[in-house]
């Protein structure tokens, strides 16, 4: 048996010799390997971020096919069917804030402002972001404010113009 086979660096030397023999640029091989490793890290990070986002937002139980059929029915104008499907999906996953928002949109299209407000409020409570807050505030009744003059006092109603005297 050759004494070089006991050398721990023997295999590295053999690989280096083969690389030279095949004229492989080891720098390119290193860059390709580093690129592949970095790509795997990026993909793994994106996958973890997606899984975390789904878990946090409650969409993990939600399937896109189901909500696509709700949106398709809504687009076709079959609002009652869309509302029934939305109710069924929300019964399976009541924490789906986006589902509550979609239900609110359907109710608003049906003319049920109180139901829409309730759905938008639920969506806002589950995930308070600007879009839901705007939808809720748009549906809340606004108090009538009197017209005020520059001093902050209510403006007087304009008096009718005096009639011109006849000569």
Identify whether residues 135 and 66 lie together within a single domain: yes
Is residue 165 in some structural domain?
no
Q: Considering the chain, what is the average pLDDT of its residues? A: 73
pTM exceeds 0.95, yes or no:
no
Are residues 45 and 69 both part of a single domain? no
- Examine the fold and report which residue of 39, 57, 75 is the final residue of a domain before the chain moves on: 57
As a whole number of angstroms, the distance between CA 160 and CA 136 comes to 42
Instruction: Give, in order, the Cα–Cα distances in Å from 117 to each of 54, 99, 111, 129, 134.
Output: 25, 14, 11, 15, 11
47/96 same-domain check: no
Quick one: how far is CA 54 from the chain centroid? 10
CATH code for position 92: 1.25.40.10
Are 45 and 65 members of one domain? no
Supply the pLDDT for residue 118: 92
Query: Low-confidence residues of the chain, pLDDT below 70?
Result: 1-6, 8, 20-27, 47-65, 128-136, 142-167
Residues 51 and 72 in one domain: no
Does one domain contain both 118 and 70? yes
* Number of domains within the chain: 2
Do both 23 and 50 map to the same domain?
A: yes
CA distance 119 to 162: 55
So what's the pLDDT on residue 31? 75
Cα 111 off chain centre by: 26
């Amino acid at each position: 048996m050759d004494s070089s086979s006991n050398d721990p660096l023997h295999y590295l030397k053999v690989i280096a010799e083969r690389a030279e023999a095949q004229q492989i640029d080891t720098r390119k091989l290193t860059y390709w390997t580093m690129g592949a490793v970095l790509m795997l890290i990026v993909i793994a990070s994106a996958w973890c971020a997606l899984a975390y986002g789904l878990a946090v937002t409650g969409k993990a139980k939600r399937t896109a096919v189901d909500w696509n059929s709700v949106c398709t029915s809504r687009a076709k104008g079959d609002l009652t069917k869309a509302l029934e499907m939305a109710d069924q999906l929300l019964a399976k996953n009541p924490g789906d804030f986006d589902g509550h928002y979609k239900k609110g949109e359907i109710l608003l299209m049906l003319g049920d402002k109180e139901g829409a407000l309730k759905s938008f409020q639920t969506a806002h409570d589950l995930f308070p972001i600007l879009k839901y807050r705007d939808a809720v505030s748009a549906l809340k009744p606004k108090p009538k404010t009197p017209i005020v003059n520059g001093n902050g006092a209510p403006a007087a109603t304009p008096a009718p113009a005096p009639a011109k005297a006849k000569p």
